[in-house]
Each structure stands twice: as C-alpha cells, then as structure tokens.
Structure 1
C-alpha cells in the first residue's frame, strides 16, 4: 500500500464510536505522518466526568482543545493525524486558531451502527449512554471549513481508503 505524504495536520472528528481511534492510526500510516490519540490530551477531571456518564461542558473542553491545538501547531507543515470529536464549529475554530492549516475528516454514520460498535468496545471510558448528547452537540462541517465527510460503513481499511481519496480530492486544484 502506497503512502501519500501530507504537510497538513488532519483532525479525525466525529461522535463517539465512529472509529476515530481505529481510523486515525491507519490514516496516519497511509499518509506517512505521526498519530496522536485525542483522548490522551484530556485532563483527568474530564475522563472522570465522562466515565461517570456526565457530558463535558464547553468550559471542560477548552484545556483539551488547547492541548490538541498545541500539538497540531507543532506539526504544522510537517503533517500529522490527531483524533478529536471536534463536535462544534467553535471547537474546530479554536483548533484552526492554533494551527490554521488543519484539515478535518468527519467520520459519519448511521446512529444504530455507531451504537452497535460502541456496545462492543472494551476498556473505553465513554459510555454508550452519552451518544445522544454527542449527536445533540454535533455541528457537521460547513462548506467553508477545510475538510471532508467519510461514511463509517464497512471495514477499517475501506473507511481509511475513502478518507485518503477524499483528502486527495481536497488537494486537487479546482477548475
């Protein structure tokens, strides 16, 4: 499988259970850049809240988004892939403020499929009970945001292939 180098930092986004932690490393490998797991940037207080089934507030998310933004800024021009739910436009704007060249891959899919996948996860702090709050918070990518939507139906290699193809389409000059 051929690597496709990119100088962009790609943020793999979407609600819990869409496969950010699975697709992110696969995408990074295909792009030949490092991967960072967004959950690792959460302060312990955020993890404790989510583990208890309490959705995070915007205020809770700020230190997390800023930490991801610092990582993205350090990788700007070098490339990288990081996972982050980035559910709201304001969160994506905050990431872009730290690293203006970020590009988003929004993993999307049928709620029933996502819930099914979440129910089979082991060792993750995000309970299925928070999925409704994730969908309620989600503001999909807007037309003026650098990014692509990728459906999560199918296997990880298929989804990753669609993500790579979609990212390539962004880099082609429009005519």
Structure 2
C-alpha cells in the first residue's frame, strides 16, 4: 500500500510540474513583497507580470476630467486603489491567456473579491467586453449611473489614449483629445 501511495504521489508531482507555469494559479502576499502594483490593471507576482483579465484601466500618466472639469491623474488613482486594496493581502491569480507583451492575462482575487470587478464597479477601469464577455457589464453600468470614478466627469478610453501616445502625442492632447471622449 505504501509503495502504491509513493508511486501515486510521484506521478502527481510529475503531472503538476509538467504543466506550463501559466497553467497554475499564481499566489502572492503583499506583506512579504511578493505582489507589487505596476499600474491600474497590472500586477507583478514574484517574477510574473499579470494583466487583469477583462478590464482596461487608464494609463499611469493619463489625465481625466472630474465633476469639476479639472484634470486629475485618473491612471494614478486606479493604481493607488489597486495597491490599497491588495496591501497586506494574499492575491490569487488564475491564468487565462497571454498577451502580445508577454504578460499573463489572469483573473485575480483577494479572498472572494475579483480585482477586475472591484476596479470596474468603482469606476476606476472600463470593461473590455471582447475579452470579459460581459462579466462586468452590470458593474460598469452601475458605476456609470452613479457617476463613480472616471464616470464622474470625462475621459478618453485608455486604448485610444495609448494609441495617441504611441503615435507621438503628448499627455495633455491625448487625454483631452476630441476622439474617444466618454
């Protein structure tokens, strides 16, 4: 019996470790430096860069206009909220895909709270329905109706802001451009 259990344990060990790294959950705890926030929708866990599945947060340099029409750093606000929410907590990410930048695209949780859903419901990120398949649609609609976060004023879609910046635009013109305003 002992011999059979040993063989079973060895086989299980081989199967689990034969899986690609991104097929297993990635777990880190901020308290001991395993998790760090890169921006509003990106984390590092150990040496892995994780892009949150189904959401797009404003870029760190991106400006939005608040209720008072004054510009504020909405991307920085999203990153700070993600940092504060994950601080001293265990983050568990389940890889779903990869992206063209070599990041692992994953659904990440703190306890039972989905980090993408938290960001969208607070108006700190927009849903990417082509990837999320509508998982956060109700949360985004509620945030928009309540005027939370970026929905309190005006903003350029993060993807359009990035495209503008990559084509040589400057922060102010890309953030305040007429195209892509919400």
TM-score w.r.t. the length of structure 1 is 0.32
Q: Which has the higher contact order (CA 8 A, sep 6+)?
A: 1
Q: Which has the higher helix share?
A: 1
More strand by share: 2
